[in-house]
Amino acid sequence: MEYADSGDLQSYLKTNFNNLSWDNKIDLAFQIAKGLNYLHNENILHKDLVSIISYLFYLIIIYILY
């Protein structure tokens, strides 16, 4: 997996999750979903995204329900 300036997404979330507001978490989840949608529309293969995306959307659902 390639790294951004702050490292990979999973490491970033482990380190910064509690420091992010719910608005930031939701925004991040939607940015990932939009990027993934773009990849699918362009028939670009990807890997290692499902667990992180599932986790973020799980958190969004908890936020909405509670």
pLDDT digits (tens, 9 = 90+) for 14-49: 788 889 898 888 888 888 778 878 888 888 876 666
Name the amino acid, one letter, at 19: N
**pLDDT at 65 (0 to 100):** 77
Q: CA-to-CA distance for 6 and 45, rounded, in angstroms?
A: 24
Alpha helices for the chain (secondary structure H)? 9-16, 22-41, 50-65
Note whether residue 58 is domain-resident: yes
**pLDDT at 1 (0 to 100):** 47
Note whether residue 32 is domain-resident: yes
47's tokens: 């890997």
Domain count, the chain: 1
- Is the pLDDT at 3 greater than 60? The verdict is no
**pLDDT at 48 (0 to 100):** 65
Yes or no: say if 28 and 20 are a contact pair by the CB < 8 Å rule.
yes
Note whether residue 17 is domain-resident: no
19's tokens: 């420091």
32's tokens: 């990932």
